[in-house]
Amino acid sequence: MTARSPIVLDLGCGTRKTPGAIGADRVPTPGVDVVCDLDAGLPFADDSIEEVILNHVVEHLDDLCAAMQEVWRVCRPGGTVRIWTPHFSSGMTSWSDPTHKRTCTSRTFAYFAPENNSHYARARFRIQTLRLHYKLGGAKQASPKLRHWLDYQLGRLLERWANRNRINIERAERFVARLVPFDELYVELRAEKKSATAPPQP
């Protein structure tokens, strides 16, 4: 008996859908399997998705709390949510696109942590991974041509230092990013909810 592949949902996939994922977008471009709008709700059942991908999507949303509630609803207990979005410190990355409506910091998604008990969002997520990228996709993916060599090396050093731990990330945001902006924030979340198969608590 072969193991079932996890159900992966790539929201706002456009023409670059993650291989093997269900591609969802509000524009019916090639590669989109389901046409829907996250701002209006998702046509997927509760607790049906193991992994949700939001690659440069959240900055376009009207209501982040409502969207994260909808993502949380379709996630299975312990499901993974992967988010890439412009970092607040990069004005060029954040605001060169007129469809962008917000920027994010390393603390943005901590708002949904269970211990915060927010009255404005029922969705609960635990941050598993948090990273700052000097360039979109990470400095390690930049082309180290001669004319970009210094920029490339600076990005590698900044990313390595900042991403050592969350204290360094906050230091980088508070002090370093004022002078040398980061382009991108990556966060990996785990959906916190009671399993439907878990026995009732006494």
Residue type, 31: G
Distance CA 104, CA 112 (A): 14
Distance (Å, whole) CA 183 – CA 93 = 6
Going from N- to C-terminal start, the domains of the chain cover 8-136+183-191
Model pLDDT, residue 198: 40
Domain 8-136+183-191: CATH class, spelled out: alpha beta
- Separation CA 191–CA 123 (nearest Å): 8
pLDDT in tens, the chain (202 residues): 445 678 999 999 999 999 999 999 999 999 899 999 999 999 999 999 999 999 999 999 999 999 999 999 999 999 999 999 999 999 888 999 999 999 999 999 999 999 988 788 889 999 999 999 998 866 555 555 655 777 888 888 999 999 999 999 999 999 999 999 999 999 999 999 986 444 343 3
Instruction: For residue 70, count other CB atoms closer than 10 A to its CB.
Output: 20
> What pLDDT, on a 0 to 100 scale, did the predictor assign at position 199?
38
Q: What is the pLDDT of residue 3?
A: 54
What is the distance between the alpha carbons of residues 55 and 46, in angstroms, rounded to a whole number? 22
108, 131, 124: which is closest to 59 by C-alpha? 108
What pLDDT shows up at residue 202? 39
Q: What is the pLDDT of residue 143?
A: 56
pLDDT score at 152: 81
